[in-house]
A and B are shown apart, each in its own frame.
Chain A
């Protein structure tokens, strides 16, 4: 029992070390400008353009539900909707916009990256890359990393705007909230915008690194690719949530709780 526990702990520590090494190798690859320009554009299309509809639809619906629930609760207590929009956008900018976008991308993009790299691993294409003089991380993860950084930030902006817009429409049609009152950015401060950017960029960095790491660990055949894909979705979603907690906690600490 103790031996088995020890083996699991050692395995987990090794995985953490390997993940850290993948991150460092990726950053080194970015610095030495690894990866091809064409591949970067292809990855930006795959990660960004192909995720737009998914992000818009999911964040739009979440925005509608959240605005409805907020107005519904207010109607039972005070009936005063004057601050609902301004507080809603503050929450979206400081947290929900980038985090929900990150979670959506962790499933769609994380699974795609792990499946693609995992398939290459089990079919020995990664070994063939090494034989061709190519560093697999430079070729496979660096372009996805850069593309993900850029596109996660852009998609977070789009997702946040759609969420706010959909929430405003719901508030207007269901509770008669005047759009000029709802669409109020008074409470959004530069610190919220900075937090938005830090979160979006952090998620954009974490998703391809975690998913790429899982893909590179695929073993065997299709079962190994399936395992890698599942691990990538769980791992990158978990990374988004942990990063959200850590960054939010750090922001609260730095602002003395006045976020």
Chain B
């Protein structure tokens, strides 16, 4: 099976400090792939490369049979229509209502008129149970509500791939499981490919098809959740059990 999204020997450094050191990862179409690892190991950095928010120093990135790491900013526009991203913080625009926030990509990417985009935005908000808050501003809402609206904004363009950057961080357990269920449903019912950066064991072992464990700038292991749990690898065991002492002496690097 040809990978739908593929990172090949990707390298990235910030101010001379290497973060990714030849990282390779293949994600299949319709798969829910979790990327896990300690803070600062480069999980968010990895997914941002796919949509050109960051540029790799070396290596290759492929999406749907085309190399995308060499595209210029303007050429990323059609790609960002096909690949959506839910950021770690909600990233809603404070000066816009929720409906206006969701309508923005519909107007810019989808080329819809203002009224039509707003109408569709309300439908999208209803899908995440936020219809009654459509005319409110982000500052008036809780973190969980903002996160749901941000997901509605991302899904408004019906992307083929959705990147989730710690989607359940900061949410109460009920809201977190609802987000998990939404991700799983996207993959199962719409065939959406989801790449999820997460630290949340309930999410990882609840909805992932496969898990990539990032360590020292490379993918240390890729496995199903069950195989990961059963892995004898002391690094993996230390991470999934959350033990403070073990071979993972220096978190991240």
Task: Say whether B109 contacts A132, CB under 8 Å.
Answer: yes
Question: Is B55 part of the contact surface with A, judged by Cβ < 8 Å?
Answer: no
Q: How far is the CB of A41 from chain B (nearest CB, A)?
A: 12
Q: How far is the CB of B79 from chain A (nearest CB, A)?
A: 10
Q: How far is the CB of B166 from chain A (nearest CB, A)?
A: 12
Residue of A nearest to B159 (CB): A131
Task: Say whether A123 contacts B89, CB under 8 Å.
Answer: yes
Pick from A42, A125, A130: contact of B53, CB under 8 Å: A130
Q: On chain A, which size bracket covers the interface?
A: 10 to 19
Complex interface bits, A97-141 against B, C-beta within 8 A gives 1, otherwise 0: 000000000000000000000000001110111111110000000
- Main SS of chain A's interface residues? helix
Complex interface bits, B65-81 against A, C-beta within 8 A gives 1, otherwise 0: 00000000100110011
Question: Is B48 part of the contact surface with A, judged by Cβ < 8 Å?
Answer: yes
Q: Please report the C-alpha to C-alpha distance between residue A127 and residue B84 in the assembled complex, in whole angstroms.
A: 12
Q: Which residues of A contact B108 (CB under 8 A)?
A: 132-134
Q: Which residues of A contact B76 (CB under 8 A)?
A: 130
Q: Which residues of A contact B80 (CB under 8 A)?
A: 130-131, 133
Task: Say whether A132 contacts B105, CB under 8 Å.
Answer: yes
Q: Which residues of B contact A129 (CB under 8 A)?
A: 93
Task: Say whether B91 contacts A133, CB under 8 Å.
Answer: no
Question: Is B87 part of the contact surface with A, judged by Cβ < 8 Å?
Answer: yes
Q: How far is the CB of A258 from chain B (nearest CB, A)?
A: 50
Q: Please report the C-alpha to C-alpha distance between residue A39 and residue B84 in the assembled complex, in whole angstroms.
A: 26
Complex interface bits, B101-144 against A, C-beta within 8 A gives 1, otherwise 0: 00011001100000000000000000000000000000000000
Task: Say whether A132 contacts B153, CB under 8 Å.
Answer: yes
Q: How far is the CB of B44 from chain A (nearest CB, A)?
A: 9
Q: How far is the CB of A123 from chain B (nearest CB, A)?
A: 5
Task: Say whether A124 contacts B91, CB under 8 Å.
Answer: yes
Q: Which residues of A contact B88 (CB under 8 A)?
A: 124
Task: Say whether B91 contacts A127, CB under 8 Å.
Answer: yes
Task: Say whether A133 contacts B87, CB under 8 Å.
Answer: no
Task: Say whether A133 contacts B53, CB under 8 Å.
Answer: no
Pick from A39, A42, A123, A134: contact of B91, CB under 8 Å: A123
Task: Say whether B109 contacts A124, CB under 8 Å.
Answer: no
Question: Is B51 part of the contact surface with A, judged by Cβ < 8 Å?
Answer: yes
Q: How far is the CB of A224 from chain B (nearest CB, A)?
A: 14
Question: Is B85 part of the contact surface with A, judged by Cβ < 8 Å?
Answer: yes
Q: Please report the C-alpha to C-alpha distance between residue A130 and residue B72 in the assembled complex, in whole angstroms.
A: 13
Q: Which residues of B contact A42 (CB under 8 A)?
A: 95
Complex interface bits, A125-164 against B, C-beta within 8 A gives 1, otherwise 0: 1011111111000000000000000000000000000000
Q: Which residues of A contact B81 (CB under 8 A)?
A: 133
Q: Which residues of A contact B85 (CB under 8 A)?
A: 127-128, 131
Q: Please report the C-alpha to C-alpha distance between residue A39 and residue B150 in the assembled complex, in whole angstroms.
A: 22
Q: Which residues of A contact B91 (CB under 8 A)?
A: 123-125, 127-128
Q: Please report the C-alpha to C-alpha distance between residue A129 and residue B81 in the assembled complex, in whole angstroms.
A: 12
Task: Say whether A127 contacts B104, CB under 8 Å.
Answer: no
From A123, A125, A132, residue with most partner B Cβ within 10 Å: A132
Task: Say whether B93 contacts A133, CB under 8 Å.
Answer: no
Q: How far is the CB of B22 from chain A (nearest CB, A)?
A: 25
Within 8 A of A (CB), among B213-245: none
Q: Please report the C-alpha to C-alpha distance between residue A128 and residue B73 in the assembled complex, in whole angstroms.
A: 14
Q: Which residues of A contact B77 (CB under 8 A)?
A: 133
Q: Please report the C-alpha to C-alpha distance between residue A125 and residue B85 in the assembled complex, in whole angstroms.
A: 12
Which residues of A pack against B, CB within 8 Å? 39, 42, 123-125, 127-134
Q: List 9 A-B contacts (CB under 8 A).
A: A125-B92, A127-B87, A128-B91, A130-B80, A131-B105, A132-B104, A132-B109, A133-B80, A134-B104
A128-B93, A129-B93, A131-B105 known, 6 other contacts, Cβ within 8 Å: A124-B87, A127-B87, A130-B80, A131-B80, A131-B154, A133-B105
